[in-house]
Structure 1
Amino acid sequence: MSAYNDIIYAVSADIATVTLNRPQRGNAISPRMRDELIQAFEQAVADPVVRAVVLTGAGRYFCTGMDLAQTGSRPDAAVDPVDAALRMFDAVRHCPKPVIARVNGPAVGGGVGLVFCADIRLAPRSTGVYFRLAEVERGLVPAVISRYIVPDLGPMRARQLMLTAERVTVADAADHWPGFLTSAVADEKALDAAVAEYTHMLCGNAPQAMADVKRLVAVQGGGLPSGETAVTTDALAAVRSVFSRMLQSKEAAYGIGEFMAKRRPDWSAFVTRGLPKSKL
């Protein structure tokens, strides 16, 4: 376990768990939590033992968004608030290792943004979990997180979510909002079981191949990291780059060999080498 203040970072069985840890404030994102989230995801990426990351919250809430009291009370002319927020959300969204959102409680505002930054999103139907973008009620706009929500929900549903400030239950999100959740489970016990099931699946896959998949989907889906555009990263060129590297990949050669031999691959040798940054 590493020393943080506003989050808890722990690694067990090749999985890093990042827990938002301001339960007395509904796990609202303080400037310190923002910086610690970036640091924690950088730590997970740099650790060759870590295969996937689980993001969750302490207490009753997953995350209630930005802590407006703290955000407004610590003006820093050297910090661009948009850039700082983008770096935090991008650290989650573009982590080269798979990220699972274990939504243990309500997600509001930026908390919804964090959910949409995850690759796998799991939530229980029976524990009062809901999702809400309440910014317009306060004269605010969910500007930064729109970058992560609109591509997955689509323009019409995104407008509905952002304009009405309505609560979306887990059942509604799963049954009537395509692109919102991976799975809605019965309760918290089932939530932990689902997290364990997905981490088991992810740990059985080739690490660099998964990183390339994430990068390729980001390019094809228009969800590139801040600072990159379709002009600087051509979608077809990205396909060619990944395919060419795959043909020369030791991972692919090993994986195909194990498939032909009817054995389940053991990717531990590839994991301990670390995960280079995907270049498309």
Structure 2
Amino acid sequence: MFETINYEVKNNVAWITLNRPDKLNAFIRQLNLEVQKAVKESSRNDEVRAIVITGEGRAFCSGQDLSEVDESMDHGEVLRNNYGPMVKEIELCEKPIIAAVNGVAAGAGFSLALACDFRLVSEKGSFVQAFVHVGLVPDSGNLYYLSNILGYAKALELAVFGEKISAEQAERLGLVTKLIPLEQWQEETTAFAERIASMPTKAIGLMKRLLKGSKDVSFHEYLEKEAYAQRIAGQTKDHREGVTAFLEKRRPTFHGK
């Protein structure tokens, strides 16, 4: 089904592993399209309640494979045809998406990690705003996400200087959900993903929708969106299970419905 990624669903978690380790999982068009397809498949699959994107080998993703770049290339069309559809699919997905940054995330690989909801980072992980070093602007939604997380000044600083950000520096900046020691990487990443997958999936999706929809509306409009979302959440089986479990003084068992 896929040639440049590995895709597996296990314990309600979809694992999307970029699989070009000899190229540090650098993007080619096929990899863009297969990530897009895998996220879409995961969105449609009721068994999937959380998604993990990670890399095979020692890198998360080193960005664009520069062997595919030539002087005649229209970089804008590359974004419209390859990267834009991929990050839009991630943006539209209402299931929680986790970037498991096992190594360097550079250029569009950094953008891919930023587009996810959570970033688990190995102590060997790092981030690089590589665009300035080849005379380009950050793309694939990079500055959009980065400025929302860090603010204008810090986002511009990272983009202009393009210096490597260690896992520890990224944690101090607020880019990291959890910093994980190398020897505990697989165990803690799996535990985090399965914990998210055991939660009320539809409520999480509504939280994502509210947060993304709160940027350009008035407070009054936001309250209307909130009420609409709460109405939907209140009709889910997971809400009923949560209330019942509370009254029965036990832990709830959610099913994502």
Determine if contact 1:31/1:70 at 8 Å carries over to the other structure.
no
CA distance in structure 1 between the partners assigned to 2:150 and 2:85 by the alignment:
22
**1:24 matches 2:18:** no
- The CA RMSD over aligned residues, in Å, is 2.4
**What CA deviation, in whole Å up to 9, does each residue of 1:207-254 have, x standing for no partner?**
21111111112122x3xxxxxx759xx533321211222334343222
1:139-218 matched pairs, under 5 angstroms: 139-144=135-140, 145-175=142-172, 177-178=173-174, 180-187=175-182, 189-218=183-212
Pick from 241, 263, 267: which aligns with 2:228?
241
Say which SS state the counterpart of residue 62 (structure 1) adopts: strand
From 120, 123, 129, the equivalent of 1:122 is: 120
Q: Figure out how many residues of one structure are paired with residues of the other and give that number.
A: 253
Identical residues among aligned pairs (%)? 28
2:240 match: 253
CA distance in 1: counterparts of 2:217 and 2:69, whole angstroms:
32
What's the TM-score, normalizing by structure 2? Answer: 0.89
Amino acid at match of 2:177: T
Corresponding residue of 2:53: 55
TM-score normalised to the size of structure 1?
A: 0.82
Greater alpha carbon shift after TM alignment, 140-149 vs 51-60: 140-149
User: Is the Cα–Cα contact under 8 Å of residues 123 and 183 in structure 1 kept in the other structure?
Assistant: yes
Whole-Å separation in 2 of the counterparts to 1:16 and 1:72: 35
Q: 1:201, CA displacement in angstroms?
A: 2.0
Distance in 1, Cα, partners of 2:15 & 2:72: 29
User: How many Å separate the matches in 1 of 2:134 and 2:13?
Assistant: 38
CA contact (8 A) 1:101 1:115 kept: yes
User: In the alignment, which of 28, 40, 43 is matched to residue 41 of structure 2?
Assistant: 43
Ranges in structure 1 where 5+ consecutive residues have no aligned partner:
223-228, 272-280
Q: What secondary structure, in the 3-state scheme, does the structure 1 residue paired with 2:9 have?
A: strand
2:10 maps to 12
